Structure formats: C-alpha cells, structure tokens
Amino acid sequence: MRVNTVTAVNEQHGVPAPQPPDAHPDAQFGQPWPDSAPREPIRSLRGPRTAWGTFKALLGAAIVLAFVGGVIYTHVIDPDRDDAGNVRGDRTISFDDVRAGDCTSLNRFIALDSDIAATPCTNAHNAEVIGRYAMPKGDWPGQDAVDKSAKTECARQLKAYAGTPADDIEAVSATPTESTWSRDRDIICFAYRSAGDLTTSLRR
C-alpha cells in the first residue's frame, strides 16, 4: 500500500515514479522478470547408458581383470618359472603344467598319474618335453591304441622339434591310463637319451 501511495503523489506532480533499484527496464510490478534470451532445457552431461555402452564397460573391466590375473598367476601362483617361461632350478611339476622345453630325468616307462622332476636344461638330464597331443574324445580305446597313437605322434613331434637327432635320442611318451581317461587324454612326448645325460636343450 505504501508503494501505491508514493506512485500516486509523484504522478500528480508530473514526475515518473522511481523504479526499484534492481528493476529491469521492461519489468512491471506484478509481472515476472523477462528473460533476456530463451532458456535452453538443462541437459545431463551423461547420456543414457545403452546396451552397447554397458557391453564396452564390461569388456574393458574384463580385459583389466585378465591382465591383472595373468600377472598374479605368473609371479605369485606360478613361481616355478621365470618371465621367459623357463623352470627356476629343480622343481616338481604336474603333468598338467609341463610344456615343451622342460627338461627332466625320468624312467623310460611312465604314465600320466604322477609329477615330473623338472630342471633347467643346462643341468644334467636325460629327457626333454617336445610336445603334447590330445587323444580324440570318446570311450577308453584300450592301452594298445593309446600306445600306437603315442608312438606315431611323438616320432613326428621329435622330428619337428629337434630335426634329425643323434642315434641315441628317441621319442618316448607319458600316456593316459584308463583311470585318468575321463579327465585327461593328453599324451606328453619326450626326447629321451638312454646313453647318458644331456646338458643342453635339443630344440633346433
């Protein structure tokens, strides 16, 4: 009511009524403040997550976890090998973990139901792992069939691994048995020297 009174008195004397100090030139009492420019709707900086975006995020996380897991396995869970994959000193390794290039001293007749004593190939040894062969799936084929496959496959792998070896080097194998067949059908092939110890790898 006071504002209206002041306005009426000023109009009688021909003086424009004073505007409030913060008033906009186009503003009138009782009206909303006019916008100087159209207002844009507020937009979120993060768009809605799509199925593809979710997939990429999960894939990235999986890659990171796989990398970290590999580092942990190599340096913590699998301390038997150095960064190049070579055996660290004398180690006992299961047949599941042996690989081509592992050297050992073993009995010529061996089955896949035990571990092997691996050693660096610069140490004295009489055998070297040259490869692995998985028998076809199916029922137990019998020991004769397994032995025949092992002889053929390991002879082939010896030639591929060592070329034409010396006469005292032959291919021998660790073969699955009927009791291990349901969980492991792998044949492990070795280059074996019967005449004495080796102190170097046979890999050509």
Residue that the structure tokens 């993060």 belong to: 46
Distance CA 118, CA 82 (A): 14
Please tell me the predicted confidence (pLDDT) of residue 48.
53
Tens digit of pLDDT for each residue in 91-126? Answer: 888 888 999 999 999 876 655 556 889 999 999 999
**Which has the closest alpha carbon to 195: 136, 96, 126?**
126
Give the C-alpha distances (Å, rounded to integers) separating 4 from 10, 17, 29, 33, 166: 10, 10, 11, 20, 119
Confidence of residue 40 (pLDDT cuts 50, 70, 90): low
The per-residue pLDDT for 63 is 80
pLDDT at 189: 96
Rounded-to-integer distance, Cα 1 and Cα 66, Å: 76
pTM: 0.60
Domain ranges of the chain: 91-193
- pLDDT: is 36 or 53 the higher one? 53
Going by the DSSP 8-state scheme, the letter that residue 193 receives in this structure is E
Cα 173 from Cα 168, distance rounded (Å):
16
**Which of 40-54, 101-115, 139-153, 162-176 has the lowest average pLDDT?**
40-54
Burial of 156 (0-12, 13-18, 19+ CB in 10 A): middle
- Say how far apart CA 94 and CA 104 lie, in whole Å: 12
For the cut 70, the answer to whether the pLDDT of residue 68 exceeds it is no
Query: How distant, in Å, are the alpha carbons of 22, 88, 105, 191, 197 from that of 123?
Result: 93, 11, 10, 16, 9
Residue 115: strand, helix, or coil: strand
Separation of alpha carbons 176 and 189, rounded Å: 12
The separation between the first and the last C-alpha atoms of the chain, rounded to the nearest angstrom, is 107
